[in-house]
Each structure stands twice: as structure tokens, then as C-alpha cells.
Structure 1
Amino acid sequence: MPFDTTSCPRFRLGVSLKMYFGYQHTLSWCRQIADIAVRHDAIHHRMAELFVMPSYPTLPVAHDIFASTHVAIGAQDLSIHEHGAFTGEVGAPMLAELGCAYVEIGHAERRRHFGETEDSIAVKTANAIRSGLTPVLCIGESEAGDVESASRACIEQFESAVSKSPTPLSESAMILAYEPHWAIGSSQPAPHHHIAGVCHRLRQHVVDLSGVSVIYGGSAGPGLLTSIHAHSDGLFLGRFVHEPSALTTILDEVLAIHERLPRTR
């Protein structure tokens, strides 16, 4: 029987390529991902929404590659400025003009290597919302600890990031990407019970904000979504999907999850 997803949740799957690939490699990867997206039932039947964040120079061509698919594109960063004499910067209005739907904000690497502060993250979040971009706000604790302390740190980062929002949060779309800093780049994600606990508390915190989703990043891979899907809206993927065929593994997992959920006939 055809899939009926009217009573099933839709997962969000994001991929950030960081600066791992060159220009042509990025475009080749995007073409392979587009081919998977066109053919796979999880995307075709909208069980999963996929967004891809390649490097700035590839955004226009990536947008064209994904134009006939359900895949959206996003940028890995944006300037605190929207226009003006700011050499080397890229503002939110241009990203929107290029066709970006999403923009990543506040990643742990930006905080650690480029000195991003809570104030600059709040400004970037406001700029993104003002230009109609959906912020993918990266939040997470610096050191391993318990669920309660991690949740408090994440909620504080979220509240700080939206403190300058130009519109009420009830009217804004946003993705909270929970990425414990100590798990980024490791061989394994954080323990599943820890991820589920923190994502559950984040969901509780934003329960009245229908446009806000909670996903997990930080060495995410196969089997994780199956374990945490009751508490998370999806995954933020990294090096695991550098081989495009690995995305099929995650999408197959989405199908399997939906097969086990109640569906209307």
C-alpha cells in the first residue's frame, strides 16, 4: 500500500560539509545526493526533510543541482552585518537571494576558533530571521556531564541567541542542533540516553513554539535515530555522509521507523 504520512512525524536531516571538499568534489557530491533524494521513498514521501550546507562558493550551483528535488540548501555561517564595507563577509540578505533556506549559527568551532560570543550569535540569529532564513542554532555543553547540567547550558544558549529576535518566537522557524562540544569529531556520539534526555528537555522548553525543531549532531551515524527518535526531530550529519551512499543508510532507517509507527489507511 502507498505510504500515508499524515499521522507520522517528519524528520529533519541536515548535512554540513564544513571545508572538507574542494569545489568540484562538492558539486559531484551534491549531484549524487540529489539522485538519492529523487529516488528514495523517505524523501519522496516527505518522511524526511533534507538540507545541505556546502561552502559559500558552491551555493549557487548547489541550489541549481537540488532545484528539482526536495532538498534545501543552507550556509554554514553569516555575517553580523547585513550590508556595507565589511571585506570578506557574507550577509543574510545575500544568502536569501542565493536561495538559501537555512543558515548554521553558533557552531562550537566558530565559538572556539573564531571567538564568536553569545552577543554575536544573537545578532546573527536576528539577521537570519529578518531575512527569512531558518537558523540552525548549534547549542551544547563544553564538557561531559549529566543531562540536567547539559540541558541548562543548552537552554541558556538558546535564550541568549533569540534575545534580539525581530519577531516573536511563536512566529519564527528554527532548528536547535544539540551538539555536545566534547562529542564533535569523535568516533562515537554521546551516549544515547544522554542525547535523548537533553533533546527531551529542549523539546519541553520549546513545546509552545511550533516552528522550533530539535535535532542531534556530534558524530551522528546509523542506529542513532532509531534509538532517540521519540525525543528528537532528526539528525545533523557530518563526515559519516561524506560517502553519499551512506545517506541511504540513514534514509532506510527513517523508512523503518515509519513502518513501525501507526498510520491511517
Structure 2
Amino acid sequence: MRRKLVVGNWKMHGSLATNAELLAGIRAAEPFVCEAAVCVPFPYLSTCLLALQGSHIGLGAQDCSAHEQGAYTGEVSAAMLADVGCRYVIVGHSERRAYHGESDQLVADKAKMVIGKGLVPIVCVGETLAEREAGQTEAVVKRQLSAVIHTLGQCIPQAVVAYEPVWAIGTGKTATPEQAQEVHAVLRKQLAAATEHAGAMRILYGGSVKPDNAAALFAQPDIDGGLIGGASLKAADFVAICRAAL
């Protein structure tokens, strides 16, 4: 039985004051049946960790470097994230792939670095609207995941996978539960070909998840929670989504 996981991705939002208010609102609703975590901007990791002390909510970062250390100005290493108390690291988010030109192999290398430091990578895969309309969804997500499977090898069960159709991120559009399940099933089958532990791995859905559609999405057999964007910035919405993840 896979326990649901709901992860808030705050993206480039927040301040000391609003973060404190948001986390206080989420903590007031604990405990949750699901696991919950928040992935916050780098400058706020330490203060958010303090705000989460005594809580069961995990802390995560939104990216990391594929390098161990060195002359990489502006980069943040997985070791640094472990040092400040992170549990999760998002890698390969569509915005990183699109705006920063991250390749499938770079994403896989980041995932390997994250696991090597004892953290859990949340590996994002997903197709654009043009790719979906061209009937390329399965080929795209399998290509993206293949690089990760090949690079992680026997460590692949330590990763969380997140399917995020690019056309449904921040657009208000959402894949239907059936559309999302279809892709999740493809990913599960691909993982099953690589590891006997695929049935225990969690595959999250990300793409305009809201309180009013979360339960239907999470009821699908291969959807094990969500990677939540905009709705994670409102305590009431994030709490409602967590409560939908039974």
C-alpha cells in the first residue's frame, strides 16, 4: 500500500512574513493521513525548517546542482541541502527544462546526486501541448524517465516521479483523472521493467491540482499524490488537497 504524498512547490513566491503565516495555517490542520512536504525557495529553507520543528511536514528544495562542489557561482549542491535539513529535492521541473535548457541527462545526473546525499529526488516528466496534440505524450515521458532509470540503476526505487503535463501548469487546465491515470500507468509499467519495486514507488500528478479536483485525481490507481503549485500558497487549499489524499 503506497502512502499518498502531497508536495507544495512554492516556486519563486514568499517572504518571511507570508511563509510564517502559511506554515502556521498548514500546521494547525495536522495530522494528515498523507505525507506532506513543502519545497521552498533557497533563501527560506532554514527559517522554514525552524517553523516546521515538531511537525510531520517535510522540507524540500526546488532544484540543485549536478556537481558536488566547486566554482559554480549561484548553484546550490545537494550536500548543502542535506546540511540545512531538506528531505526532498525537485529535479527536472518543466520550468527548469524550458527556461534553463535542462536536458534529460542533466536531470538524471541531479537525481543521482540527490540520492547520493541521502535525499529523495522528485523527478518531473511531462509533455507540452504541442507534443500531446501530436500524439507524442507516451514517447516524451518515457524518454525523460528512461534517462533517469539508466543513470540511477538499482537506486531508482529511491526516487519519486511526478507527471506534470506542461500544458496544465499554471494554465487552469487540468488533465482529466482518466488522462492522468493513463500516463501514470505508462510510467509504472516502465518502472516495472527496471525494478521489482515499482509497485512501491510513488508517482505524483502535478498540473493545476485544486481542492475541487484532488479527490478524483487521487482516486486513480496509479496516482499517489500531487506536486502542487499555486494551490500550495494558500493554507486552506493545501490542507484541503492533503485531506483529499486518503
Same-fold status (TM-score > 0.5): yes
Offset, 1:118:
1.7
For 1:147 and 1:67, how far apart are their aligned partners in 2?
A: 47
Q: Cα deviation per residue 1:16-36 (whole Å; 9 max; x = unaligned)?
A: 000122233223212222222
Query: Radius of gyration: which is bigger?
Result: 1
Indicate which of 64, 68, 72 corresponds to 2:58: 72
Percent identity over the alignment?
29
Q: Is the 8 A contact 2:34 2:243 kept in 1?
A: no
Q: 1:35 and 2:28 equivalent?
A: yes
Which structure 2 segments of 5+ residues have no match? none
Residue type of the alignment partner of 2:150: S
Offset, 1:200:
1.8
Q: Is the 8 A contact 2:181 2:223 kept in 1?
A: yes
For 1:203 and 1:162, how far apart are their aligned partners in 2?
A: 12
Q: 1:158 and 2:145 equivalent?
A: yes
Indicate which of 209, 217, 220 corresponds to 2:197: 209
Offset, 1:137:
0.6
Q: 1:15 and 2:20 equivalent?
A: no
Q: Tell me which residue corresponds to 2:102.
A: 116
Give the direction of change, closer, same or farther, for the CA distance of 1:131–1:110 in structure 2 (3 Å limit).
same
Q: Tell me which residue corresponds to 2:237.
A: 246
Give the direction of change, closer, same or farther, for the CA distance of 1:147–1:176 in structure 2 (3 Å limit).
farther
- Give the match's secondary structure for 1:135: strand
Task: Report the TM-score, using the length of structure 2 for normalisation.
Answer: 0.89
CA RMSD of aligned residues (A): 2.1
* Matched positions, count: 239
Offset, 1:239:
0.7
Offset, 1:135:
0.6
Q: 1:107 and 2:93 equivalent?
A: yes
Offset, 1:149:
3.5
Q: Is the 8 A contact 2:205 2:226 kept in 1?
A: yes
Q: 1:175 and 2:160 equivalent?
A: yes
Residue type of the alignment partner of 2:123: L
Give the direction of change, closer, same or farther, for the CA distance of 1:192–1:148 in structure 2 (3 Å limit).
farther
Which structure 1 segments of 5+ residues have no match? 1-7, 259-265
